[in-house]
Chains A and B, each alone.
Chain A
């Protein structure tokens, strides 16, 4: 981890009382800036919770791997079978050498370049050169393996000894993975577009909160509204008045939250900025797969705008992973939400729309990044309380416990912090 000198000067409370820093409608800014809190998060959240690592479609063949991080822990995700993957720490158990430097590749086994120790794709130590020098059998020197659970190709992992089930972790958020996958006539995403990696000089939780904050849109993205001809999906949320906004926010519990745009879309593919007859092959393949009524419903409601605690954000036409680097540095990963079995023209439009919104040069995220940087710098030297009260008196609690409120309300962020607090209590 790269702490700057400034980070170190912010160490004020080595045994931070995290629950005491979170009120129902406000938080203390040291949650963003204190490197001790960051270290506790890497342990309590990124080691103990289910964390999104990758999608099976990124490792299509047995032996394919990608390099990722779970918090600050370097890991490898290997495809090991039809619907299976392993997630192993990318670090030799002998002397700690990084095992794979390439971002992706294919291996039959993992050989450390330092002393030649060999591990199989399940992480078991299978060979050591000059084995006569060892007395033990080496079983305790297998790679550190995460528990893995996969839902619709989304690979999650945790280092917790006794984790809750992935189903329990996803809770009400699971529907977002269905909603995204169901846009494919084959019911699967196919993430072959690679990732842009955009540096934010702010805390990872600021990226999280911004993703489901509707209040900033008219201000941070004013230049986008004025730079384009406002139409289709942006019509309702840009340049609108408070009482005319139809999109709303939802705290789904367990830290997950979303902005629901579904009812602002009046007809199939409106969210995609086109009429349904633009992609007749796509529509007919969807009708063949799901039946006419359900296909119509899927194509009208469109993709989710949903954050899954702690590091996954399905950003409509893109998928985003938030990687924490240090208290004041994060990486925003972004790949197009490619749909398996959809016509190339549909996926190409997905790509172009995603590039407009997300990435280092995008019309939207470039501005979010600079606001996050400013926010982090302004908070850093003078910690204090921040307000999260917007809309707290006009929320609606549904039978399933989810809480909805006006598009501009801070309901999703309050939900995030409520869950976060339970992890440190």
Chain B
């Protein structure tokens, strides 16, 4: 980080925080169109196999979507025959430990911890608990922030995990 760039103001902190809560709510409620509206064209959505020095172009990931693949993912979720999300999982995510760094004059890097409770209603009728941390890269756009990077680091990512067909 460039030392000369100013620290995050309280207003900026609140703005990023509001964005992250909104993003989590759209994801938890499977509001795909509203979630997709938060994205920039250079969006990367990445779930590596947990912590560690995994490289996206070398190590197989749980998920690694650029913007067009993410559009396919959302299209698939909206077909009505994405069996692994039909019916959709009721979910709630708890987010905490928000820390924000500045990337540039109009870009932020945010870190959070999360716990996600997913009711797996497609086949098991059992609750899955997902835990880890997330990184977001956000950019000032015309009227609000937009997201151009989201990395989800699951604490059990390099171990056997159930299906993750929802937007986490």
> A residues bordering B, Cβ < 8 Å?
103, 192-199, 201, 220, 222-224, 226-228, 331, 334-336, 344, 348, 351-352, 354-356, 359-361, 363, 366-367, 369-371, 373-374, 377
Give bound CA distance, A344 to B55, whole Å: 13
Give bound CA distance, A334 to B60, whole Å: 8
Is there contact, CB below 8 Å, between B49 and A194? Answer: yes
Closest beta carbon of chain A to B54's beta carbon, Å: 8
Q: Contacts A103-B158, A223-B79 known; A360 to B163 CB distance under 8 Å?
A: yes
Q: Contacts A228-B72, A369-B163 known; A193 to B59 CB distance under 8 Å?
A: yes
Is there contact, CB below 8 Å, between B123 and A370? Answer: yes
Contact residue range for chain B?
20 to 34
Closest beta carbon of chain A to B63's beta carbon, Å: 4
> B residues bordering A, Cβ < 8 Å?
47, 49, 54, 57-64, 69, 72-73, 75-77, 79-84, 122-124, 158-165
Q: Which residues of A contact B81 (CB under 8 A)?
A: 222-223, 226
Is there contact, CB below 8 Å, between B162 and A199? Answer: yes
Nearest B residue to A228 via CB reads B72
Is there contact, CB below 8 Å, between A197 and B73? Answer: no
Q: Which residues of B contact A224 (CB under 8 A)?
A: 76
Is there contact, CB below 8 Å, between A359 and B60? Answer: yes
Is there contact, CB below 8 Å, between A370 and B83? Answer: yes
Q: Contacts A227-B72, A227-B79 known; A351 to B160 CB distance under 8 Å?
A: no
19 sampled A-B residue pairs with Cβ under 8 A: A194-B49, A194-B59, A199-B163, A223-B80, A227-B72, A227-B73, A227-B75, A227-B79, A334-B60, A348-B57, A351-B57, A352-B64, A359-B62, A360-B164, A366-B163, A367-B165, A370-B165, A373-B122, A373-B123
Give bound CA distance, A359 to B75, whole Å: 19
Is there contact, CB below 8 Å, between B60 and A193? Answer: yes
Give bound CA distance, A331 to B59, whole Å: 19
Give bound CA distance, A359 to B161, whole Å: 9
Closest beta carbon of chain A to B156's beta carbon, Å: 10
Give bound CA distance, A337 to B160, whole Å: 20
Q: Which residue of A201, A348, A370, A371 has the most chain B CB atoms within 10 A of its CB atom?
A: A370
Closest beta carbon of chain A to B126's beta carbon, Å: 9
Q: Which residue of B60, B64, B84, B158 has the most chain A CB atoms within 10 A of its CB atom?
A: B60
Q: Which residues of A contact B79 (CB under 8 A)?
A: 222-223, 226-227
Of A199, A228, A355, A361, which one neighbours B160 at CB under 8 angstroms? A199
Closest beta carbon of chain A to B66's beta carbon, Å: 9
Closest beta carbon of chain B to A414's beta carbon, Å: 26
Q: Contacts A351-B60, A374-B123 known; A366 to B165 CB distance under 8 Å?
A: yes
Q: Is the interface of B mostly helix, strand, loop or mixed?
A: loop
Top 5 A-B pairs, shortest CB-CB distance: A227-B76, A373-B123, A361-B63, A366-B84, A223-B79
Nearest B residue to A352 via CB reads B64
Is there contact, CB below 8 Å, between B62 and A196? Answer: yes
Give bound CA distance, A370 to B165, whole Å: 10
Is there contact, CB below 8 Å, between A367 and B84? Answer: yes
Of B54, B61, B83, B124, which one neighbours A223 at CB under 8 angstroms? B83
Closest beta carbon of chain A to B160's beta carbon, Å: 4
Is there contact, CB below 8 Å, between B47 and A198? Answer: no
Nearest A residue to B126 via CB reads A201
Closest beta carbon of chain B to A404's beta carbon, Å: 30
Nearest A residue to B66 via CB reads A352
Q: Which residues of B contact A197 (CB under 8 A)?
A: 158-161
Q: Which residues of A contact B84 (CB under 8 A)?
A: 366-367, 369-370
Of A355, A366, A371, which one neighbours B60 at CB under 8 angstroms? A355
Give bound CA distance, A125 to B166, whole Å: 50
Q: Which residues of B contact A228 (CB under 8 A)?
A: 72, 75-76
Q: Which residues of A contact B49 (CB under 8 A)?
A: 194, 196
Q: Which residues of B contact A331 (CB under 8 A)?
A: 160
Nearest A residue to B122 via CB reads A370
Q: Which residues of A contact B124 (CB under 8 A)?
A: 201, 373, 377
Give bound CA distance, A348 to B59, whole Å: 10
Is there contact, CB below 8 Å, between A354 and B60? Answer: yes
Is there contact, CB below 8 Å, between A194 and B47? Answer: no
Give bound CA distance, A194 to B158, whole Å: 9
Of A103, A192, A223, A359, which one neighbours B76 at CB under 8 angstroms? A223
Q: Which residues of A contact B69 (CB under 8 A)?
A: 356
Q: Which residues of A contact B158 (CB under 8 A)?
A: 103, 194, 197
New A-B pairs, 12, CB < 8 Å, besides A196-B61, A351-B57: A193-B58, A194-B49, A197-B160, A228-B72, A334-B60, A344-B57, A359-B60, A361-B164, A363-B76, A366-B163, A370-B83, A377-B124
Q: Which residues of B contact A354 (CB under 8 A)?
A: 60
Is there contact, CB below 8 Å, between B76 and A226? Answer: yes
Nearest A residue to B160 via CB reads A197
Q: Contacts A198-B161, A223-B81, A370-B163 known; A363 to B61 CB distance under 8 Å?
A: no
Q: Which residues of B contact A363 (CB under 8 A)?
A: 72-73, 76
Q: Contacts A227-B73, A369-B84, A370-B122 known; A355 to B162 CB distance under 8 Å?
A: no
Give bound CA distance, A103 to B158, whole Å: 10
Q: Which residues of B contact A369 (CB under 8 A)?
A: 84, 162-163
Is there contact, CB below 8 Å, between A377 and B123? Answer: yes
Give bound CA distance, A373 to B128, whole Å: 15
Closest beta carbon of chain A to B109's beta carbon, Å: 23
Is there contact, CB below 8 Å, between A199 and B161? Answer: yes
Give bound CA distance, A363 to B158, whole Å: 20
Give bound CA distance, A201 to B60, whole Å: 23
